[in-house]
Chains A and B, each alone.
Chain A
């Protein structure tokens, strides 16, 4: 845990100086800001962004885009488990014990996290991608085949999303099968359905 925290803190410090102030984006289209930067958004903006509002306005575009944190830093079990793993509150606090945000919105949202941590109450995130229960999708096997940056194949470019939304309907079997046919891998039903 400690090691992971140090790596994360390092990543934050390296990139932390480059907070750019972009134009305010209000459309749901979310045009991409220049690489390595992120737009400044307030909590109120999250209403207009695509995807469900989360209890904390967690910015994947800041963490994965601007700070270039690896997906697997938080989604730690994706390479060896069927489940990608949702970061524990402790993982968040590893950095946010020290990083309290620069803008009022950031400060307010991070305070929500620290308050929840203090009350020992986990944040209940709204789930965006959920497979039907009769489908078994081993994340690990796909990361193994497609590489550690393959997340975008299904989830879209999360690093550009201030608020995560569903780019592909992962519950549509055609979406899975198209890829499996293209890559000439198994299409056997019992690969996923059992």
Chain B
């Protein structure tokens, strides 16, 4: 091997005691010598449920966002190495989004602090002992005289109840805070129906979905569940599919999956909803019609930029579908008219009769106290009426705009405590940091829906010296005594169990221990959803007023949440930074999106740095030119621009919140409420994009076909011809002959030696009508296959390593055609006539007997001929010692021991997760049986929330993948190259004609 890397891969310090015998941990592909002295360290006492070399799975709950998806944690030798969805959990049903999977990188984050820290006289942080830290906390809480405040970002749970009770007992107040708190929807539901709660939505049942700005595939609501439902209804099946329309100023990932994107100006979405409601109500004879009479399509058309005919057509199609679903909310529609918008959509749903069918109440629980409560809490801090503040699982000094001078108010609190495990913006201003435990290290629960509570159990010894904040408070209670003496549980675990004893009694469980064990094993308590059957009629109509914007700039500023970074909590995880934004394909950076016409007008090109000025601040960022945004709007992803929060997040990009005013708009932070002006600078910064050619140029890589043809069972090619388009160029007779001859010659060579006999043959099918481009599969691939993240500089050089990437191609957008997007996951196609194989001089690239395109890393000498010859660009060369830099300790503990970590100079690529195939084959052979269909699943297929990927043995006629491959929509990419690939794509299906069309404009 070219490289003699000496790193051991596995941290042998803290973990050794737990890991015991793990000599064969995932380590660097070292040479063929074993001259160095390796030690075998046995366990002192063998754990009953840890066998070296055999993964142990635990059920737990994801705490990366408030959805609380159920997870299965794969552990090897005491280390969690992969998170997968819990199939029993009603929210995510076995799949998991990118952010959830990246939870491992917050567990093993190298910037987690090593223990409690206190600020010293010089203003720096010192590591202190836990006893000392708890004593300091207890002393301050005792002497605070009830002037205690807590900010809690954790969802409804035993812990949150405990924290609130504890602070109340001390005489203080607790604010439950979530940056994306959906306050406007709550208020709107209260105004419409007198129910200040959120609804659940049944996307799977809806036949016609209209989203007014709600990014339900990215950050709004339980995205995994919504994506699953959306794929079920909008994916082509049985000759039909649902329709989806997106109304809003920017084409987000959600909008890109819509059949139509109606780009109305920010703030006018409510008018479209009201006009639709008016049409629907009058068609259906709903009593709402009278109150909506003034909002006719004709009356609103001018302000929305749509024509009355468009709105009428959309409303009629919406009314005709049963059931339909309209949704509103989310950050991209959180302007000062957000409540009116949500109310308008409530009326639309009610007029269309969706309440109780696709809009379900009585299911959600808890929720945050809202932005207004935070603002008033900070007011109190500024007035000096808070002595001690406890910040748990929240980072308000990042997530609230700097314009509000919240940091100054925070500084007036004499004693500030944070439980952040990584020093974030808020913790950096605190006096005491009590690092809490990660969800995989602690006992906890998370109540996410009526009847659904996820449990968490420690599946790993704490990576650093953290302590559950519940345990900290219980220990402090012993010192404080007095009002909190009643909190006398031995530990938080004991408190959790006693809380669950009440649950067991409610469930009429006989034996608590048995109940507890079952709940832990299953991952919690999952009752089926039981929506409220009775529903009050709505109260009154909506009075629409045009939302106002601060400032006089020419452009509306639209900060939108990134599907990777969420509210900024994802920015410290390299997987999420390297996994490109699904739309722009930009990694590791922030950017300003502007329309090509706007860019031409102010004369800027991609990568030029511009200054955006609003009345509240200024930011500088590079330009990304994007046709999917209105010319009068500029957009920017949220979540970057941290000034702390670890090495990956700090000083990366800019914080879009800096342009916003902090004034509370009716209980929520109006994200879309400023106008900006743009000035050019002389500076330039290359945009770290990973996409190549933006358009397909007729290559038919990501194919699509009209619904009418798909319903008739046509193939994409037949549909193409039936569509009256120019015939596909076909090979000449001579070329055809040459191809056939070559293929036969290739097959002759496969009838010798090892290749004879019965072997399975692995294949994959990808349904593009279900794929939304969310990129969860990409993160799964990184996690499963020890793929290093390479960083921004290497992305500039096009050296990213993602074995599986989502191709994104633009369609239309010119000459009065609507802008469209096509997504397709592209991994190694495992060609049966692979161009990479014959060019390898050392047979590192070869064909396995079971139809895989194998890559033997220890043979590879790095000529890169194979990559040059690959028509799909799915072979990735390891240019540098990424293995030395990609996993600073303890991130390396996440590495999968079953997959070789590749060193410099090696070509690497998708293997169809051969380690998973071999593991199941070994188990099946030892158990004396054949592997079952569905037993072997690649990491991407396992993770996909849409269920768009199917994998299996194509020699088994009963296999699901074979059924998929028989679908007439099937095609193989770049068929003309005659590579005989093993991956079949099922063409995306598009509705025959838009309902609203483009209008006259």
Contacts and interface: CB of A to CB of B under 8 A. Distances in A.
B21 A83 contact: yes
Contact of A77 (B24, B40, B52): B52
Interface string A179-194: 0000000111111011
B27, B40, B859 interface centre (most CB from chain A within 10 Å): B40
B53 interface: yes
B848 A190 contact: yes
Q: Summarize B's interface: helix, strand, loop or mixed.
A: loop
B854 A132 contact: no
Contacts of B27: 133
B849 A125 contact: no
A80 interface: yes
B527 interface: no
B46 A189 contact: no
A107 interface: no
A135 B46 CA distance: 26
Nearest to B16: A122
Given A88-B45, A133-B24, A126 B922 contact: no
Contact of B849 (A82, A91, A186): A186
Given A88-B45, A130-B34, A193 B39 contact: no
Contacts of A171: 32-34
A122 B42 contact: yes
Q: Summarize A's interface: helix, strand, loop or mixed.
A: loop
Contacts of A123: 42
Nearest to A139: B53
Interface string B18-46: 00110110111111111001111111111
B38 A130 contact: yes
Contacts of A13: none
Nearest to B34: A130
B41 A122 contact: yes
A132 B52 contact: no
B44 A133 contact: no
B859 A189 contact: yes
A118 to B, nearest CB: 11
Interface in A35-84: 52, 77, 79-83
B861 interface: no
A138 B919 CA distance: 9
B187 to A, nearest CB: 55
Contacts of B900: 133-134, 193-194
Contact of B44 (A90, A131, A136): A90
A85 B21 contact: yes
Nearest to A85: B52
B21 A86 contact: yes
Given A83-B21, A90-B45, A77 B54 contact: yes
Contacts of A134: 29, 857-858, 900
A188 B914 CA distance: 12
A87 B44 CA distance: 9
A53 B859 CA distance: 34
B21 A80 contact: no
Interface in B840-862: 846, 848-850, 852, 854, 856-859
Interface string B545-575: 0000000000000000000000000000000
Contacts of B849: 186, 188
A89 B42 contact: yes
A186 to B, nearest CB: 6
Interface string B745-767: 00000000110000000000000
Contacts of B40: 86, 124-127
B757 to A, nearest CB: 10
A66 to B, nearest CB: 23
A79 B30 CA distance: 27
A127 B23 CA distance: 9
Interface in A106-155: 117, 120, 122-127, 130-136, 138-141, 144
Nearest to B858: A134
Contacts of A83: 21, 24, 51-53
B52 A188 contact: no
B899 interface: yes
A132 B32 contact: yes
Contacts of A91: 46
Indicate the size class of the contact surface on chain A. Answer: 35 or more
Nearest to B48: A1
A125 B39 contact: yes
Contacts of A194: 899-900, 911, 914-915, 918
Contacts of B911: 190, 194
B1 to A, nearest CB: 9
Contacts of B857: 134, 193
B53 A81 contact: yes
B754 A188 contact: yes
Contacts of A131: 24, 34
B381 to A, nearest CB: 48
Contacts of B858: 132, 134-135, 193
Nearest to B906: A134
Nearest to A193: B856
A37 B53 CA distance: 34
Contacts of A87: 42
Contacts of A85: 21, 51-53
A99 B29 CA distance: 43
Nearest to B853: A190
Nearest to B24: A83
B900 to A, nearest CB: 4
B226 to A, nearest CB: 36
B854 A140 contact: no
Contacts of B734: none
B234 to A, nearest CB: 37
A155 B879 CA distance: 38
B603 to A, nearest CB: 52
A128 to B, nearest CB: 9
A65 B900 CA distance: 37
B846 A133 contact: no
12 contacts: A80-B51, A86-B21, A86-B40, A123-B42, A131-B24, A131-B34, A133-B29, A133-B30, A134-B857, A140-B926, A188-B850, A194-B899
Interface of A: 1, 52, 77, 79-83, 85-91, 117, 120, 122-127, 130-136, 138-141, 144, 171, 186-191, 193-194
| Ranked 4 nearest A-B pairs via Cβ | A83-B53, A81-B53, A88-B46, A82-B53
Given A91-B46, A122-B20, A124-B40, 15 more contacts: A81-B53, A83-B24, A85-B51, A120-B44, A126-B37, A126-B39, A127-B37, A133-B27, A134-B29, A140-B926, A186-B849, A188-B754, A189-B846, A193-B900, A194-B918
